Chains A and B, each alone.
Chain A
Amino acid sequence: MSVSPPQNKIWWNEPVPTSELIWVIIAFVWGLIMFFMMIYWHVYGEQNLSNEAYRITAEDFSAKTEAMVEKYQVREESGYPVVRPPPGDDIYLIARLWQWWPILELEKGQTYRLHLSSMDWLHGFSLQPVNINLQIHPDYEMVVTITPTTSGEFGIVCNEYCGIGHHTMTGRMYVVDNEGT
């Protein structure tokens, strides 16, 4: 029994029952499949993180973002600048207590290099309803290449606890249909 020593002292020489052996083999092979699925997806899948990241100070990241806003701002909304950079460009999004800044306006089907960093604490970039979730650190600049494939208005929620105003930390992103440009 499981609460008494093995009756057969040389238990490690006992043969393994066939049913258990089959299950061990199935489970092992399934583990390999799940392991190689991740590698397969890096080669053939479209949703992967490049893990491209740099060390950066909050001041430098803020300066880069403000330069983009100055250059490409198209309008203002609720006190936030709405920025429409050209497709293929580097775009920047600041996470800070408690906002995502600025509002980005992208074109559907175009590709952008999105840079993300935090000015203060850890934040969680959660793009809704697409449901892409990224961890945003201070002092690290994360770069992901995204291609919006649906158009409309998207919400950015913070999903890493960042203090008492956490639930007010939101942002917005627009994706507009390509107007034949």
Chain B
Amino acid sequence: MATKEQYRICQTTGLRVYKSAENLIKANAVVAIVFLAVGGVFGIMVALTRWKAVHLLPADWFYMALTGHGINLLIVWIIFFEMAVLYFASAVILGSRLATPRWAWGAFALMLAGAVITNIAILQGGSSVMFTSYVPLKADPAFYLGIILFAVGTLIATFVFFGTLVIAKQEKTYEGSVPLVTFGATVAAIIAVFTIATGAIILIPTLLWSMGYISHIDTLMYRTVWWAFGHASQQINVAAHISIWYLIAAVVVGAKPISEKVSRGAFFLYVVFLQLASVHHLLVDPGLSSEFKIFNTSYAMYLAVLGSMIHGLTVPGSIEAAQRAKGYTNGLFEWLRKCPWGNPAFSGMFISLILFGFLGGISGVVMGQEQINLIIHNTIYVPGHFHATVVAGTTLAFMAVTYLLVPLIFQRELIFPGWAKVQPYLFGLGVTGISVFMMGAGTLGVPRRHWDISQADAVLPYDFPGAANLMMGLNGMSALLAGLGGAIFIIVIVGSILFGKRIESSSEEVKAEPAKVVGQYGSAKHPAVPGTLVMVAVFFTVFVLYYYVNWKYLAEVWPIR
């Protein structure tokens, strides 16, 4: 029986770690990081091409690199890492064995095969159709096939996660409700199932079309269904990286949710509403009604945004409460100053939280307003926004948690701890630049996915203002900075896994005592978090101001109806 499978007790956290789960977490995380490196190199080439003074790649290479950048980072890196997160959040946090490890390895193999097939298709040059592969742009059938295989693998891995939840419950490895982090991971897994189902609905016909078995795919139908997949796939990340914020806050500063009910309620709003908003990309398309657009773009009256705004209070609030409990009670912000800023797991997590909220969250909601989208659609403002969510938010959170996984799962000490210390700051600063400068260029009308905005070869060129070129140059420099941060991350992590000093694990004799980190909460006495409330008030003010500034911009545009 697999129940006799061996496990060890982590000396830092007291968590019970089974071998099967540990190996799968390692494999998925390592492959994820490899693809992060591949996609990152493509990304730097893209940014350097759009920097007018450098203009690195020729047009065909540029669009190929851009396709590779999108697929490898938005899909392969993030989803591989998320599978590691799901196994961690189920097997490790619940102290359970993993359900059907063989299926999990099968899923891993399928995902890896799919990722490799799609990458080969891209590198052959015949599949430069961008991440979105809008019909009638046609890629090599292998391009779609690889993504479909990857998705099937993801679906299997997601069900291994659900199976592990069932096993843990049956074998009573924990009591009561699952921990908040597992709850959040479950939300991510549910969204993943929705995402994969929609992806299958659109990508399987597109594969058949590329092979010649289907003659025509309607462009509006494609975009409508594809975005239910494409946008939802990024919502998996939101649920996953917010779970990671809670995880890091718990492990590093011993934070506990101020209120389980509120935090779980916020996650539950994601289950119900976060998969909406596929229409964010179709707000200026013909053939859809405004009623549908308004309902869908607002996640049904912004109920998913409500969830995110709640996490924006509860995550830093839980940290403040934990810090105040340690005695850092002077003034509004002593708790914040005394946070472990030299610990890359913590600094990465906190920078991720701030950038995701202020840059990614606000810009996303504003540009998702039906009418404001008129002045933003398909400009480089759009990648400006999602680099704040997916890179500053998700990727930085995943990097931060990797600093915890290295000692906990790989059982190695970090090499170059000094480098690791500055890495989240470098990367965060670089991504902030990428995001802000792209958004700035976008407000000047600079298009996304465009090889040459000087349009040197065009018959009727349009001169973008000089500020646009300046911002694209600054974007290129920021990309180099972020690339440096990314490179340090990869060197430190890969180096630590290979050459880091081993951390001795305890023998199996250690009794499976309840985790040391169990905290008390839920008493009537709720901790006061004045510092967090001030931060939230600042956030809200910025949000409201930026929101109405954009309506003012819109009001200055030619009347159109």
Which chain A residue has the least Cβ–Cβ distance from B219?
A137
In the bound complex, do residue A129 and residue B306 qualify as a contact, i.e. CB atoms below 8 Å apart?
no
In the bound complex, do residue B379 and residue A20 qualify as a contact, i.e. CB atoms below 8 Å apart?
no
In the bound complex, do residue A23 and residue B560 qualify as a contact, i.e. CB atoms below 8 Å apart?
no
Q: How many residues of A contact B (CB 8 A)?
A: 90
Q: List 11 A-B contacts (CB under 8 A).
A: A19-B533, A30-B543, A32-B301, A37-B551, A38-B298, A78-B460, A121-B136, A145-B561, A157-B455, A159-B449, A161-B137
In the bound complex, do residue A172 and residue B460 qualify as a contact, i.e. CB atoms below 8 Å apart?
yes
A103 to B460, alpha carbons, bound, how many Å?
Answer: 10
In the bound complex, do residue B369 and residue A12 qualify as a contact, i.e. CB atoms below 8 Å apart?
no
The segment from A46-54, A67-75, A84-92 found at the interface with B is: A46-54
Which B residues are in CB contact (< 8 Å) with A50? 561
In the bound complex, do residue B521 and residue A79 qualify as a contact, i.e. CB atoms below 8 Å apart?
no
In the bound complex, do residue A80 and residue B464 qualify as a contact, i.e. CB atoms below 8 Å apart?
no
Known: A14-B260, A14-B522. A47 touches B379 (CB 8 A): no
With most chain B CB atoms within 10 A of its CB, the pick from A20, A26, A53, A132 is A20
**B109 CB within 8 Å of chain A:** no
Known: A47-B554, A51-B287. A20 touches B258 (CB 8 A): yes
In the bound complex, do residue A130 and residue B558 qualify as a contact, i.e. CB atoms below 8 Å apart?
yes
**A180 CB within 8 Å of chain B:** no
The segment from B170-178, B387-395, B469-477 found at the interface with A is: B170-178
Known: A11-B177, A23-B536, A51-B288. A3 touches B63 (CB 8 A): no
**B559 CB within 8 Å of chain A:** yes
11 other A-B residue contacts (CB within 8 Å) besides A38-B371, A131-B375:
A5-B177, A16-B259, A23-B310, A48-B561, A129-B445, A134-B284, A135-B286, A145-B561, A157-B445, A159-B377, A163-B137
Q: Which of B13, B533, B536, B560 contacts A49 (CB 8 A)?
A: B560
The segment from B157-165, B333-341, B496-504, B524-532 found at the interface with A is: B524-532
One digit per residue, 1 when the CB lies within 8 angstroms of any chain A CB and 0 when it does not, for chain B 542-559 equals 011001000100110111
Known: A2-B179, A6-B260, A137-B220. A132 touches B558 (CB 8 A): yes
In the bound complex, do residue B560 and residue A132 qualify as a contact, i.e. CB atoms below 8 Å apart?
yes
Which B residues are in CB contact (< 8 Å) with A2? 179-181, 246-247, 249-250, 255-257, 318
Which A residues are in CB contact (< 8 Å) with B181? 2-3
Which chain B residue has the least Cβ–Cβ distance from A32?
B301
**B452 CB within 8 Å of chain A:** yes
One digit per residue, 1 when the CB lies within 8 angstroms of any chain B CB and 0 when it does not, for chain A 1-13 equals 1111111110110
A133 to B284, alpha carbons, bound, how many Å?
Answer: 7
Known: A38-B370, A145-B561. A122 touches B551 (CB 8 A): no
Which chain A residue has the least Cβ–Cβ distance from B136?
A121
In the bound complex, do residue A24 and residue B284 qualify as a contact, i.e. CB atoms below 8 Å apart?
no
Which chain A residue has the least Cβ–Cβ distance from B301?
A35
A88 to B375, alpha carbons, bound, how many Å?
Answer: 24
In the bound complex, do residue A80 and residue B558 qualify as a contact, i.e. CB atoms below 8 Å apart?
no
A123 to B520, alpha carbons, bound, how many Å?
Answer: 57
In the bound complex, do residue A11 and residue B260 qualify as a contact, i.e. CB atoms below 8 Å apart?
yes
The segment from B21-29, B37-45, B323-331, B511-519 found at the interface with A is: B511-519
In the bound complex, do residue A128 and residue B557 qualify as a contact, i.e. CB atoms below 8 Å apart?
no
In the bound complex, do residue B371 and residue A12 qualify as a contact, i.e. CB atoms below 8 Å apart?
no
In the bound complex, do residue B93 and residue A3 qualify as a contact, i.e. CB atoms below 8 Å apart?
yes
A171 to B559, alpha carbons, bound, how many Å?
Answer: 21
Q: Looking at the assembled complex, report how far the CB atom of A171 sits from the nearest CB atom of chain B, in whole angstroms.
A: 6
Q: Looking at the assembled complex, report how far the CB atom of B317 sits from the nearest CB atom of chain A, in whole angstroms.
A: 8
Q: Looking at the assembled complex, report how far the CB atom of B470 sits from the nearest CB atom of chain A, in whole angstroms.
A: 16
Q: Looking at the assembled complex, report how far the CB atom of A19 sits from the nearest CB atom of chain B, in whole angstroms.
A: 6
**A81 CB within 8 Å of chain B:** no
Known: A135-B378, A140-B220. A6 touches B176 (CB 8 A): yes
Q: How many residues of B contact A (CB 8 A)?
A: 115
Which B residues are in CB contact (< 8 Å) with A39? 294
A23 to B522, alpha carbons, bound, how many Å?
Answer: 19
A140 to B288, alpha carbons, bound, how many Å?
Answer: 11
Which chain A residue has the least Cβ–Cβ distance from B292?
A51
In the bound complex, do residue B59 and residue A167 qualify as a contact, i.e. CB atoms below 8 Å apart?
yes
A15 to B517, alpha carbons, bound, how many Å?
Answer: 24
In the bound complex, do residue A47 and residue B560 qualify as a contact, i.e. CB atoms below 8 Å apart?
yes
Known: A9-B177, A172-B460. A51 touches B290 (CB 8 A): yes
In the bound complex, do residue B522 and residue A8 qualify as a contact, i.e. CB atoms below 8 Å apart?
yes
**A63 CB within 8 Å of chain B:** no
Which B residues are in CB contact (< 8 Å) with A14? 259-261, 522
**B450 CB within 8 Å of chain A:** yes
In the bound complex, do residue A121 and residue B137 qualify as a contact, i.e. CB atoms below 8 Å apart?
yes
List residues of A (122-181) whose CB comes within 8 Å of B's CBs.
Answer: 122, 124, 126, 128-135, 137-142, 144-150, 154-164, 166-172
**B5 CB within 8 Å of chain A:** no
List residues of B (432-480) whose CB comes within 8 Å of A's CBs.
Answer: 443-445, 447-453, 455, 457-465
In the bound complex, do residue A133 and residue B374 qualify as a contact, i.e. CB atoms below 8 Å apart?
yes
List residues of A (81-104) whose CB comes within 8 Å of B's CBs.
Answer: 99, 103
Known: A1-B255, A157-B447, A172-B460. A38 touches B294 (CB 8 A): yes
**B303 CB within 8 Å of chain A:** yes
Known: A1-B517, A1-B518, A146-B560. A126 touches B447 (CB 8 A): yes
In the bound complex, do residue B247 and residue A19 qualify as a contact, i.e. CB atoms below 8 Å apart?
no
In the bound complex, do residue B460 and residue A171 qualify as a contact, i.e. CB atoms below 8 Å apart?
yes
Q: Which of A7, A154, A159 contacts B447 (CB 8 A)?
A: A159
In the bound complex, do residue B136 and residue A120 qualify as a contact, i.e. CB atoms below 8 Å apart?
yes
A166 to B378, alpha carbons, bound, how many Å?
Answer: 14
List residues of B (301-349) whose CB comes within 8 Å of A's CBs.
Answer: 301-303, 305-306, 309-310, 313-314, 317-318
In the bound complex, do residue B298 and residue A24 qualify as a contact, i.e. CB atoms below 8 Å apart?
no
**B491 CB within 8 Å of chain A:** no
Which A residues are in CB contact (< 8 Å) with B136? 120-122, 138
In the bound complex, do residue B517 and residue A4 qualify as a contact, i.e. CB atoms below 8 Å apart?
yes
